[in-house]
Amino acid sequence: MKKLDARIAYRDKRNILTTERVEEFSQLIFNNFFKQFDASDYSCIHYFKTISKLKEVNTKYFEEVMYEKFPQVKTATSVSDINSTLLTHYIIDQNTTFKENLLRIPEPVNGKKISEKEISLVIVPMFAFDKAGHRVGYGKGYYDRFLRELTTDCVKVGVNFFPPVDVIEDFDTFDVALNYCITPEKVYKFK
């Protein structure tokens, strides 16, 4: 499957999910995440803030567990520069204030700026992924540029409502493969 075809097909599949289904699946995904990973093993976990209108995996379930059970672990998210398509990263907590940007992404208005090198695990949004861990994002390259800047031992974890397609045919050398992808049913581990 080509990236564009996957982006269209899986955007459409996501759009027909009810709000209740999105919430149910999101909770199952993060239940699987915390079964697979002991968050206390990581110094800083980066995650995306959910764009509800796009029916993304709802990361509030991740936040709730992190703030309750792992308050010693730093959490971070990004601010998008729409002109350069680069991300800047900030430490956040339950007291952080957020404001939606032009793309409707909730971004922190306060927080301490950090380098990509300080992140030890990153939770990655996507439309689809394949059995080798290649992902299909939104097509602007924000996350691929970001993932290339991480240390080699940073764990890259995708979250998705749907199982993988067999192959993303047109991935290229700029695309960064995931180490894991978590769905409501299963944790996929890649080489």
Domains of the chain: 3-189 (3.40.50.10420)
Q: Predicted confidence band at 172 (pLDDT cuts at 50, 70, 90)?
A: confident
Sequence-ordered list of residues with C-beta below 8 angstroms from that of 132, at least 6 positions apart, any chain: 167, 168, 177, 190, 191
Structure confidence at residue 111 (pLDDT): 85
Q: Please count the other Cβ atoms lying within 10 Å of the Cβ belonging to residue 124.
A: 23
Residue range 131-151: mean pLDDT, rounded: 91
Task: Give the helix/strand (H/E) hosting 78.
Answer: strand 74-81
Does 148 have pLDDT greater than 90?
Answer: yes
Q: Taking the CA of residue 25 as centre, how many other CA atoms within 13 Å lie in the half-sphere pointing to its CB?
A: 18
Q: Please count the other Cβ atoms lying within 10 Å of the Cβ belonging to residue 101.
A: 13
Q: Predicted confidence band at 24 (pLDDT cuts at 50, 70, 90)?
A: very high
Structure confidence at residue 92 (pLDDT): 95
Cα–Cα distance for residue pair 156/99, rounded to 1 Å: 26
Q: What is the pTM of this model?
A: 0.94
